Structure formats: C-alpha cells, structure tokens
Amino acid sequence: EVQLMEHGGGSVQAGGSLRLSCTASGFTFDDSDMGWVRQTPGNECELVSILKSDGSTYYADSVKGRFTVSQDNAKNTVSLQMNILKPEDTARYYCSAVELRTRVPGGLKRLNIRCPYEYHYWGLGTQVTVSS
C-alpha cells in the first residue's frame, strides 16, 4: 500500500521556522520526483517545491530563498525546511510523488478539483499557520 505521511506542521509567528517531513512507503522512492503543494483556506493552490530524482530542485518565486527541500533516501523521507515564514504561507501542505518508470494504476491524479497539479500519490497534508 502506498503511503505519504506528512509531519511537522503547526502554528508559528511570522519570521519563525518550521520543518515539514514526508515519509514515503509502498513505491520506488529513489526513482520518483517529489513535490510539495499547498492549498490556502481560500482554496488557492500553489506548487511550492519539487525535488526531482536527479537532485534538481524547483521553488515557487514566493518561497525562493526561504524554503529548502531535501531528501534522505535511506529513510524514504523528503523534507521542506521553511524559514522566515509569512502569514501568506498559511496553508495546508501536501507531499506528492510521481514515479518515473512505473506504470501506476489510475495514473496521475489531482489533489482536488481546485488544484491543477497532477501526481501519482498524495499525502493527507499538514496544516501550517503563520500569525502576524
């Protein structure tokens, strides 16, 4: 059974830091691109960061210089270090994965109808709340 389980959300004041972690199981973690997607209370959806299997990364302009994505293949974990948090970072953060060389039953899926990003697997999300 495929699982993506996020940890580390919480409430913090502006300027603070949080570290999100996502533990993966049930699929080929080493051969997958991992993503972090967030959805605000108003249902705005943003692709925050990608960590590709080749080690390359992507960050949304809104988080560049403040967020850092990393992974530990030995622990099947991808993490998102979030520094200098702002109230506009308040959202539910979802870990996602796409397997690169496996045909996955059901194919790519969106998180929900309001979120256009497609991945094979999604976690249940963890809430991050930043107060001013």
Three-state secondary structure along 83-96? CCCCHHHCEEEEEE
What does the radius of gyration of the chain's CA atoms come to, in whole angstroms?
14
Band (pLDDT 50/70/90 cuts) for residue 132 is: very high
How is residue 31 written in tokens? 């051969």
Q: What are the pLDDT digits (tens) for 81-96?
A: 999 999 999 999 999 9
pLDDT tens readout for residues 22-71? 999 999 998 999 999 999 989 999 999 999 999 999 999 999 999 999 99
Q: Which residues contact 129 (CB under 8 A, 6 or more apart)?
A: 10, 11, 12, 90
